[in-house]
Amino acid sequence: MTTGTNISLAAHGALIFFVLFGGIFSSSQAPPVRVADVSVITEAELQALTPPAQAPELATEAPTPTLPEELDAPEVPEADTAPERPEVSVAEAPEPPPLAPNIPETPDALETNVLDSAPVLDLVQDGAELVPVIPDGAPAPAPRVAPEAAPAPPPDVAIGPDALPDISTDAPELAEVEEESEAQAPEEATTDLVTEADEQLELAPERSQRPRSRPAPQTQVTEATEDTPEDPVEPLMSVDPEAARDAAVAAVATGQTSAQPAQRVRGTPMTAAEEDAFRLSVQRCWVVDIGSEAAEVEVVWAFELDPDGKVINGSMRQVRASDGSDAAVRAAYEAARRAILRCGASGFDLPAEKYEQWREVEITFSIEEMGR
Amino acid sequence: MTFFRLLSVLLTLALLTPVPAVEAQSNQGPLRIRITEGVIEPLPFAIPEFIAESPAAAQLARQVSQVIAADLTGTGLFREIPASAHISEVTNFNAPVQFADWKAINAQALITGSVGVGSGGQMTVKFRLFDVFSEAPLGEGLQFGGTQDTWRRMAHKVADQVYSRITGESGYFDSRVVFVSESGDKANRAKRLAIMDYDGANVQFLTGNNALVLAPRISTAGDRVLYTSYETGRPTVFELNVANVSPRALNLSSDAVTFSPRYAPDGRSLIYSQSQGGNTDLYRFDVNTGQRTRLTSSPAIDTAPSYSPDGRQIVFESDRSGSQQLYIMPATGGEARRISFGQGRYGTPVWSPRGDLIAFTKQNQGRFHIGVIRVDGSGERLLTASFLDEGPTWSPNGRVIMFTRETQGASGAPALFSVDVSGRNLKRVPTPGPASDPAWSPLLQ
């Protein structure tokens, strides 16, 4: 009995000594376990932590560059360098039916001609000096006017001939009043809809609010962001210590040790803060037409970025859209595309060392937080 | 015992095994971002003055460009970048667009065009629309032809096309508004029917000032107008043919007071209120046959009916529940379903041309509001608030509501205002003088 105990003590002691000083379980290849104190904080607190430089610019004012002395006008082409133009069948525009033939003072009906072949355009074809030359790198010439003529619309309703003559003499006097329309400042950009009725209800608060507690310091948990690729909008995530331990035990059970780290397919992942900054950089350019059917349509764009953060030409692809009329879906896609291209014109500010993480991007545009 | 020893050894080994770093799943797909909030601001666009194809077209080209810009900026959805900020100059309608120059001034849309005049007072307006940041045209170029005195309509049509291509909705600029033009003292005010372009231009009068007129309603084809007149000494519903300005009294009833008429979407019948013996109910009148059909028969006051765009339902106001509320019933009559449940009194409901919303007037706590509510009664939103707002009418695309706003006091006067269905862009519509009861026409053909 004593022998067994001694052997056991000696073996355990040797094992502990070997573990402590033998270095068999230490590995220079394995990264140390990083432990971070993480807590769940609200989005408002996250915003408070976010540096002001990351705040989105809600309103984009057009710069007012000075007019250069020499305008970069399009180059006037030579006749023999004119590009090939499609054959155009010349169709005579239909005569516009008068709105009311018996009422000369009322507007006539309009033709809606979709044509490439109006007589005036013949002059364009004949005039060699008007044919554009496309220099290298210059944008493609604008397309010709549509080649097919639309059918003439039915005659419009006209105001009758018996319009009271004594009243019609008032017209000039009315025109002066018409010019007294009030000039109004354009409404500022916003993310919230405030109607006149809402403004009436804005009253002073009945009591002061208690100051908010200081938000907990934000700690970026790189590993934690990796397991939520489908929901990258969450600003912060918590790491459950027990879950981490379970994962560690599971790794032991599967034989995965520090000598065999998980292979990262695409390098260091984006942090939540980096993804949030990217999201805000697109969001500030997404102009939403609240009230339109297009605003109700959720669309998804996919595209690729070059290492400078610029959208690669030809890479933009419409992934999917929610239900809506064709026109609404098209308008929703276009508005989203404008947001991507406008804010990414000079390249998105993304971490260069994580290029593989953001080389391919898929953005969903939905107004779910704007109130419908 | 052996089992426990073995277990203890395994546990010891497991505890002494270094725990590897927590490796989350690697992101093997694209970086996925979800944007759930955008900005509400006007979309900047540039419209260089349209090119005059001849010296005679110079003034028209300038005017057409200005009207297009005014139409778009008037929606509150677009903002014109002034010409002084333009870098590129468009001197040729067919010249390539220097997109970089327009990007530099943040123009998201570019409208180019030209105007030509021909013999016999004819003129043509051509335009193209470009998405600057996509460096591509938005739709095909179009050309409109007409006489020179229709230049405003051609400008409106161009603006409608631009609006439609960018927003995905049809426009509303080439439309008219019938309204009641008022003059004189507030206590003794003369009222007559007038018609104008949606933006207040081209005002013409349809009736004289010898009789009080009220509540004009324009047909869905825009060719006829219903209104109530006191020409005969008692309120009588008249129908006016816009083409020849010839009114005729509709013999809706020989002994009862009839009012609040409105056309059915097909224009072949109308619904109206008839008051008799202290009771007011809804009736339908077939314009061709003269047949009358009673639709409601409650002891309450049922009035202000309005058809749904498909003509299958009617929304109206009624005090059958004790207070004035909104109800929907089948167009043939039958059980009515209440859709408004808020505080205050609801009235003058008008069904949106899109069919999704109903505009109404609401009176609550001494103030009047114009609001909208979904057909199922949800989503009530008040868009305005003032001393007196009433009588909403929808733009042809169901995006804008025009209504009457009257100011307080002895010198108060009614005026026409419009507001976007989102509640933004509240503004006054220019009229020759005091004006009320607007009725927005459909888009002109």
Q: Is A204 left (phi over 0), alpha (psi -120 to 50) or beta?
A: beta
Share of chain A above pLDDT 90, in %: 17
Task: Look at the block and give the residue holding tokens 């310091």.
Answer: A217
Separation in Å, CA of B30 to nearest CA in chain A: 5
Could you read off the pLDDT tens digit of each residue along chain B, which spans 445 residues?
456 676 666 666 655 554 443 333 345 689 999 999 888 889 999 999 999 999 999 999 999 999 999 999 999 999 999 999 999 889 899 999 999 999 999 999 999 999 999 888 899 999 999 999 989 999 999 999 999 999 999 999 999 999 999 999 999 999 999 999 998 877 788 899 999 999 999 999 999 888 889 999 999 889 999 999 988 888 889 999 988 888 988 888 878 888 899 999 999 999 999 998 888 999 999 988 889 999 999 899 999 999 999 999 999 999 999 999 999 999 999 999 999 998 999 999 999 999 999 999 999 999 999 999 999 999 999 999 999 999 999 999 999 999 999 998 877 899 999 999 999 999 999 999 999 999 999 999 8
CA atoms within 13 A on the CB side of B346: 29
Q: Is the dihedral of CA A267, A271, A277, A282 positive or negative?
A: positive
List, in order, residues 6 or more apart from B206 with CB less than 8 Å away.
Answer: A159, A163, B178, B192, B193, B194, B195, B225, B240, B242, B245
pLDDT score, position A209: 57
Q: Is the dihedral of CA A145, A148, A150, A152 positive or negative?
A: positive
Identity of the residue numbered B308: S
pLDDT score, position A189: 66
CATH class of the domain defined by B43-167: alpha beta
Question: Can you tell me the distance from the alpha carbon of A219 to that of A134, in angstroms, rounded to the nearest whole number?
Answer: 54
pLDDT digits (tens, 9 = 90+) for A241-271: 455 455 444 444 444 433 333 333 457 888 9
* Closest Cβ opposite residue B23 in set A223, A228, A239: A223
CB contact under 8 A, A294 and B79: no
List, in order, residues 6 or more apart from A93 with CB less than 8 Å away.
Answer: A111, A113, A115, A118, A119, A149, B124, B143, B145
Separation in Å, CA of B293 to nearest CA in chain A: 30
CB A305 within 8 A of CB A349: no
- In order of their start, the domains of chain A are 85-154 (no CATH), 222-256+267-372 (3.30.1150.10)
CB B281 within 8 A of CB B260: no
Q: What's the token pair of residue B110?
A: 């570019």
The DSSP bridge pattern shows strands B43-46 and B78-80 to be parallel
Could you read off the pLDDT tens digit of each residue along chain A, which spans 372 residues?
577 888 888 888 888 887 777 655 554 454 454 555 556 666 666 565 554 444 333 333 334 344 334 334 344 333 333 334 333 333 333 343 333 333 333 334 444 443 333 333 222 233 223 223 233 334 444 445 555 555 555 555 555 544 443 333 333 333 333 334 444 555 566 666 677 877 655 555 555 555 555 655 554 443 433 343 444 433 333 344 455 455 444 444 444 433 333 333 457 888 999 999 999 999 999 988 888 889 889 999 999 999 999 999 889 999 999 988 898 999 999 999 999 998 888 899 999 999 999 999 999 999 877 754
- Nearest one of B74, B150, B143, B77 to B112, comparing CA atoms: B143
CB contact under 8 A, B31 and A230: no
Instruction: Decide whether B43-167 matches B176-440 in CATH topology.
Output: no
Question: Can you tell me the distance from the alpha carbon of B217 to that of B304, in angstroms, rounded to the nearest whole number?
Answer: 12
Distance set, CA B85 to CA A60, A160, B14, B40 (Å)? 15, 45, 72, 23
Q: What is the ipTM of this complex?
A: 0.75
CB B332 within 8 A of CB B312: no
B164 touches A at CB < 8 Å = yes
CB contact under 8 A, A196 and B126: no
Residue A155, classified by CB atoms within 10 Å of its CB into exposed (0-12), middle (13-18) or buried (19+), is middle
CA atoms within 13 A on the CB side of A237: 20
- Nearest one of A322, A257, A263, A265 to A294, comparing CA atoms: A322
Alpha helices in B168-289 (DSSP H): none
* Closest Cβ opposite residue B20 in set A120, A192, A258: A258
CB contact under 8 A, B41 and A143: no
Question: Can you tell me the distance from the alpha carbon of B48 to that of B308, in angstroms, rounded to the nearest whole number?
Answer: 41
List, in order, residues 6 or more apart from B302 with CB less than 8 Å away.
Answer: B273, B280, B281, B282, B296, B316, B317, B318, B320, B327
pLDDT score, position A110: 45
* Closest Cβ opposite residue A134 in set B96, B126, B431: B96
Question: Hey, which residues 76-115 in chain A have their CB within 8 Å of chain B?
Answer: 93, 96, 98-100, 106-115
Question: Can you tell me the distance from the alpha carbon of A170 to that of A149, in angstroms, rounded to the nearest whole number?
Answer: 40
Question: Can you tell me the distance from the alpha carbon of A298 to that of A291, in angstroms, rounded to the nearest whole number?
Answer: 14
Please report which helix (H) or strand (E) contains residue B109, including its range.
strand B109-117
Question: Can you tell me the distance from the alpha carbon of A210 to that of A130, in angstroms, rounded to the nearest whole number?
Answer: 70
Buried b (16+ CB within 10 A) or exposed e, A326-342: ebbbbbbbbbbbbbbbb
Architecture of the domain whose range is B176-440:
6 Propeller (2.120)
pLDDT score, position A118: 33
Separation in Å, CA of A215 to nearest CA in chain B: 24
Question: Can you tell me the distance from the alpha carbon of B294 to that of B183, in angstroms, rounded to the nearest whole number?
Answer: 37
On chain B, the residues whose CB falls within 8 A of the CB of A321 are none
* Closest Cβ opposite residue B430 in set A178, A197, A293: A178
CB contact under 8 A, A64 and B105: yes
Q: Domain extents for chain B?
A: 43-167, 176-440
CA atoms within 13 A on the CB side of B105: 25
A127 touches B at CB < 8 Å = no
Q: What is the DSSP string of B63-81?
A: HHHHHHHHHHHHTTSEEEP
CB contact under 8 A, B150 and A107: yes
A364 touches B at CB < 8 Å = yes
